[in-house]
Amino acid sequence: MARHETDVVIAGAGLAGLAAAVTLHRAGVPCAVLEASDDVGGRVRTDVVDGFRLDRGFQVLNPAYPAIRRLVDVEALRLGRFWRAVRVAGDDRVALLGNPIDTPKAVRDIVARRYFSAKDLAALGALSARVAAGPVHGILDRDDRTTLDELRRAGLSERAVETVLRPFLSGVFLESGLTTSSRFFQLVWRSFLRSAPSLPALGMGELPRQLARSLPAVRKNTPVEAVRPGVVRTATGDTWTARAVVVATDGSTAARLAGVAEPKWNSGTTWYFAPPRSPLREPVIVIDARGGPVASTSVVSEVCPTYAPPGAALVSASALTTLPVTDVRRALGRMYRTDAARWPLVGRYEIARGLPAMPPPHDIRREVRLGDGLYVCGDHRDTSSLQGALASGRRAARAVLADLGS
Between residues 109 and 182, the one the model is more confident about: 182
- 88 and 186 housed in the same domain: yes
Q: Report pLDDT for 104.
A: 87
What's the pLDDT tens digit per position in 181-226? 999 999 999 999 999 999 999 999 999 999 999 999 999 999 999 9
347: which residues sit within 8 A by CB, 6+ positions away? 47, 49, 52, 54, 271, 272
* Backbone phi, psi, residue 190, to 5°: -60, -40
pLDDT at 71: 96
Say whether pLDDT at 100 is over 90.
Answer: no
* Mean residue pLDDT across the chain: 95
Q: Tens digits of per-residue pLDDT, 341-357? A: 999 999 999 999 999 99
Tell me the three state secondary structure of residue 119.
helix
Statement: residue 320 has pLDDT above 90: yes
Q: What pLDDT, in 10s, does the model give residues 260-278?
A: 999 999 999 999 999 999 9
pLDDT for 182 equals 97
Q: How far apart are the first and last CA of the chain?
A: 31
pLDDT above 70 coverage of the chain, percent:
100
- Same-domain status, 332 and 189: yes
216 and 243, same domain (yes or no): yes
109: enclosing H helix or E strand = helix 107-111
Q: Are residues 86 and 145 in the same domain?
A: yes
Contact 44, 210 (CB under 8 A): no
Position 105 scores a pLDDT of: 87
pLDDT band at 114 (very low <50, low <70, confident <90, very high): confident
Q: Return the CATH number at 381.
A: 3.50.50.60
Cβ-count burial 261-288 (b if 16+ within 10 Å, e if not): eebebbbbbbbbbbbeebbbebbbbbbb
One-character DSSP codes across 33-59: EE-SSSSSBTT--EEEETTEEEESS--
Q: Are residues 116 and 39 in the same domain?
A: no
| Sign of the alpha-carbon torsion through 46, 48, 54, 57 | negative
pLDDT at 242 over 70: yes
Are 183 and 224 found together in one domain? no
The domain of 276 spans: 52-200+266-356
pLDDT for the residue 136: 85
pLDDT at residue 13, as a whole number: 98
pLDDT tier for residue 124 given thresholds of 50, 70 and 90: very high
What mean pLDDT comes out for the span 331-347? Answer: 97
CATH of residue 88's domain is 3.90.660.50
Q: Do residue 178 and residue 322 come from a single domain?
A: yes
Please tell me the least confidently modeled range out of 67-76, 84-93, 207-216: 84-93
Query: How many domains would you assign to the chain?
Result: 2
Can you give the pLDDT at residue 297? 98
How would you classify the pairing of strands 239-247 and 296-299?
Answer: unpaired
39 Cβ contact partners less than 8 Å away, ≥ 6 residues apart: 45, 205, 209, 220
Would the pLDDT of 108 be above 80? Answer: yes
- Return the higher-pLDDT residue of 171 and 141: 171
**Are 78 and 118 spatial neighbours (Cβ–Cβ below 8 Å)?**
no
pLDDT band at 103 (very low <50, low <70, confident <90, very high): confident
CA distance linking residue 90 with residue 292, whole number of Å = 10
In angstroms, rounded to a whole number, what is the distance separating the alpha carbons of residues 266 and 178?
12
Mean pLDDT of 49-63: 96
Q: Are residues 28 and 172 in the same domain?
A: no
Give the per-residue pLDDT at 331.
97
Cα-based torsion angle of the residue sequence 260, 190, 192, 96 in order, rounded to the nearest 10 degrees: 120
199 near 83, Cβ under 8 Å? no
- 337 CB burial (10 A radius; 0-12, 13-18, 19+): exposed
Q: Which of 340, 356, 372 is the last residue of a domain?
A: 356
Residues 186 and 293 in one domain: yes
- Residue 16's pLDDT is 98
User: pLDDT grade, residue 386 (50/70/90)?
Assistant: very high
Q: What is the mean pLDDT of residues 64-70?
A: 93
Same-domain pairing of 128 and 217: no
What sign results for the dihedral spanned by CA atoms 59, 207, 277, 81? positive
Per-residue pLDDT at 163 exceeds 70: yes
Q: What is the mean pLDDT of residues 355-380?
A: 96
The last residue of a domain, from among 356, 371, 390: 356
Which residue among 356, 378, 393 closes a domain?
A: 356
Same domain, 165 and 64: yes
User: Smallest Cα–Cα separation from 214: which of 404, 78, 70?
Assistant: 70
Report the alpha-carbon distance of residue 38 to residue 165 in Å, rounded: 38
| pLDDT band at 406; cut points 50, 70, 90 | low
Out of 108-122, 158-172, 332-346, pick the least confident.
108-122
Residues 116 and 185 in one domain: yes
